[in-house]
Amino acid sequence: MSKPFFNAWLGAGLAAIVLLAAPAMAQQSKYREGLHYFKIDQSGAPSSDGKVEVIEAFSYMCPHCNTFEPFINSWLKRKPEHVKFTRMPVIFGRGTWELYARAYVAADNMGVAEEAHGPLMDALYKEKKIMRNMEELAEFYSQFGVTASEFLGTSKSFAVDATLSRNQRALQNYGVNGTPTMIVNGKYLVQGSEAVPNYDTLLNVVDTLVAQEAAAMASAADGEASNAAEGR
């Protein structure tokens, strides 16, 4: 596929996405930067695959994240296809938080993180079953098609160490200081506050920013397509 044709196709596709996202964009006047969401000073690189990335910064040790689970699950069922969702566990220098963050990254590397995510929340908050070391966590994850020994080995791997370090640097650059926090396209941070008093509002702000980013991407793609066509 030639680049001009690809850019034109991408622009048309994102334009259609913007039309579908119009209701969320209509709310834009309701939400203000510095009040309902914050511009990230050290913005990360937006996704390069034509999708708007939304990150949930969370911890299994955060009861608010457990309360947020039904809301984020409902949002995941209705999110647009052009949204790429990622969970990123935070540590904040706490040993237990690091234990569970390492377990999540190991599970993600083994392809079982999402399948096990809800059950682990339930084990912690409904069954009151606290796993206090990696051996106990490995036993828990062994329910999902991996062996405890494989899980333990992965949890100690260089790949997991590198991902944890990279994620914590990113979270620090994003300015995450509490959980749950949502980051939209590496540019905007949304979290609970007096102006964002509940999780429905928080996700409405996220939807608005997603629509805004999709519109900007559509405009940029359309501009690139026009420039390429003029240069032929």
- Whether residue 21 is contained in a domain is answered as no
In a domain, 62, yes or no: yes
Q: Is 70 a domain residue?
A: yes
Using an 8 Å Cβ cutoff, are 59 and 97 in contact?
yes
From residue 104, how far is each of 83, 112, 113, 150, 170 by CA, in Å?
22, 9, 6, 14, 17
CB of 138 closer than 8 Å to CB of 131: no
Inside any domain, residue 66: yes
Q: Which CATH number covers residue 155?
A: 3.40.30.10
Interhelix angle 113-125/63-78, rounded to 10 degrees, is 140
Q: What is the pLDDT of residues 93-126, one digit of tens each?
A: 999 999 999 999 999 999 999 999 999 999 999 9
Could you list the residue range(s) of the whole structural domain that residue 173 is in? 32-206
Please check whether residue 232 lies inside any domain of the structure. no
The string of pLDDT tens digits covering residues 145-186 is 999 999 999 999 999 999 999 999 999 999 999 999 999 999
The pTM for the full model equals: 0.83
Residue 12 lies in a domain: no
| Residues 39-57: tens digit of each pLDDT | 998 765 555 578 999 999 9
Q: Do the domain assignments include residue 57? A: yes
Give the separation between CA 55 and CA 189, rounded to whole angstroms: 10
Beta bridge partners of 39: 188
- What's the number of domains the chain is made of? 1
